[in-house]
């Protein structure tokens, strides 16, 4: 699977028919774990946790989770090829691998057994990283890149036959000049079409351009309206012959700028809603009420925040058994109601922002901007 909103929503919406899912995230960063045996030892520790959880379940469910642990172990040891992969997620149910994700970024080692696949680490990745298209253009050549989750791919090179100047210097007669302008126009149209097709294949979050000012301006004029809308405002100064390390460094800085800008705007909206309860929710109890009403537009969560709670027969969440029973019985305890909130937000298409501390949420573990 890919780390995008659609694939994460499809994963968390899988129906196990009452059989638990096992989710394992494993850091395989070669800088930390040079040998396969190093990260496999961490995997064994995670799977011991899974088996201990299985032993607390009814017999049939326990057998399925034990089979999941064996399936995950086999996949990592026999099918996984590390290459440049620094983090993997493996999801199993009924003793079968149902999906995997591999990224060029490390993940935190964690394992969960639950009624749905555990997607919080994927949401953390998605919130901090963008799918970026990058084009370095000149009047007769271009290089188009894709950058996502720390991985850079040179998507396509575009080279066109555009006439240059005469040896004597200066442009030739007006007709010759018009021909050159026509050739440059066609070249830029070709580049714009490559970018449009790239976006059609997998939608991009931001388009970054680099090159001489007139060439960048001409390309921008020819872009599809959506691409103009996601165009990163500042053209970079990356030469056409730049190597992959230079390109990755430049795009990593752009990505950080995009994340910071988005979060600042959302947090300003949250601050502006202070005292206007119909526009925002703060704290676990109020956010639970909003998620039950499917009113959450943007969910803010401190990573690692957790609190036990309950789920009603119709899926409503609350902190106490009595509050939950008001939504419908029977009532089921859940070990972490915050994880349940995140999963419900994913299913409803809400945007999710995960923070490493609660400072920017005024000490709250969770908060939300509301749709209505």
Mean pLDDT of 313-323: 92
Q: What percent of the chain has pLDDT over 70?
A: 94
Q: What pLDDT shows up at residue 167?
A: 46
Between 171 and 117, where is the model more confident? Answer: 117
Residue 44 pLDDT grade (very low, low, confident, very high; cuts 50, 70, 90): very high
Give the count of alpha carbons within 13 A of 228, CB side only. 9
Distances (CA, A) of 63 to 22, 58, 67, 100, 209: 12, 9, 6, 22, 54
Contact in structure between 88 and 109 (CB atoms under 8 Å): no
Q: What pLDDT shows up at residue 183?
A: 80
Structure tokens at 199: 């976006």
SS3 at position 96: strand
Q: What pLDDT shows up at residue 241?
A: 94
Q: What pLDDT shows up at residue 86?
A: 94
Between 138 and 163, where is the model more confident? Answer: 138
Q: Please state whether beta strands 366-370 and 280-282 pair in parallel, antiparallel, or not at all (unpaired).
A: antiparallel
* Residues linked to residue 152 through DSSP beta bridges, in sequence order: 147
- Rounded CA gap, 356 and 197, in Å? 36
Mean pLDDT of 274-281: 78
Contact in structure between 309 and 337 (CB atoms under 8 Å): yes
Q: Where are the alpha helices (DSSP H) in the chain?
A: 5-12, 36-54, 59-74, 120-128, 174-201, 213-222, 225-229, 244-272, 284-292, 321-325, 337-347
Residue in this structure with the two tokens 């929503």, named with its chain if needed: 9
Lowest-confidence region among 19-33, 162-176, 236-250, 318-332: 162-176
- Rounded CA gap, 3 and 208, in Å? 21
Instruction: Evaluate if residue 171 carries a pLDDT over 50.
Output: no
Q: What pLDDT shows up at residue 177?
A: 56
Q: What pLDDT shows up at residue 37?
A: 95
């Amino acid at each position: 699977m890919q780390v995008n909103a659609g694939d994460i929503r499809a994963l968390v919406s899988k129906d196990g028919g009452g059989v638990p899912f096992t989710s394992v995230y494993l850091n395989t960063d070669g800088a930390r774990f040079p040998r396969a045996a190093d990260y496999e030892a961490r995997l064994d520790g995670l799977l011991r946790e899974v088996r201990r959880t299985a032993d607390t379940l009814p017999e049939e469910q326990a057998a399925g989770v034990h089979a999941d642990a064996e399936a995950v172990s086999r996949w990592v040891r026999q099918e996984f090829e590390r290459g440049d992969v620094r983090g993997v997620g493996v999801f199993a149910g009924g003793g079968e691998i149902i999906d995997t994700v591999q990224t060029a970024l490390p993940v935190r080692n964690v394992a969960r057994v639950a009624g749905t696949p555990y997607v919080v680490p994927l949401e953390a990745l998605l919130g901090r990283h963008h799918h970026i298209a990058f084009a370095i253009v000149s009047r007769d050549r271009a290089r188009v890149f894709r950058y996502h989750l720390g991985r850079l791919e040179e998507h396509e090179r575009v080279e066109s036959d555009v006439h240059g100047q005469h040896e004597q210097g200066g442009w030739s007669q007006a007709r010759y000049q018009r021909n050159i302008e026509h050739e440059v126009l066609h070249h830029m149209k070709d580049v714009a079409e490559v970018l449009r097709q790239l976006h059609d294949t997998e939608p991009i979050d931001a388009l970054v351009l680099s090159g001489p000012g007139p060439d960048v301006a001409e390309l921008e004029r020819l872009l599809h309206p959506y691409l103009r809308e996601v165009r990163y405002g500042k053209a970079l100064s990356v030469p056409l012959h730049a190597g992959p390390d230079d390109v990755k460094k430049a795009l990593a800085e752009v990505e950080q700028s995009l994340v910071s800008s988005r979060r600042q705007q959302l947090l300003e909206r949250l601050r502006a809603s202070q005292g206007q309860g119909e526009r925002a929710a703060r704290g676990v109890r109020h956010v639970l009420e909003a998620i039950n009403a499917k009113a959450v537009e943007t969910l803010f969560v401190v990573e690692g925040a957790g609190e036990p709670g309950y789920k009603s027969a119709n899926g409503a969440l609350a902190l106490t058994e009595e509050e939950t029973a008001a939504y419908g019985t029977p009532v089921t305890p859940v070990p972490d109601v915050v994880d349940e909130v995140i999963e419900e937000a994913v299913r409803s298409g809400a945007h999710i922002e995960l923070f490493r501390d609660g400072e920017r949420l005024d000490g709250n573990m969770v908060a939300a901007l509301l749709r209505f």
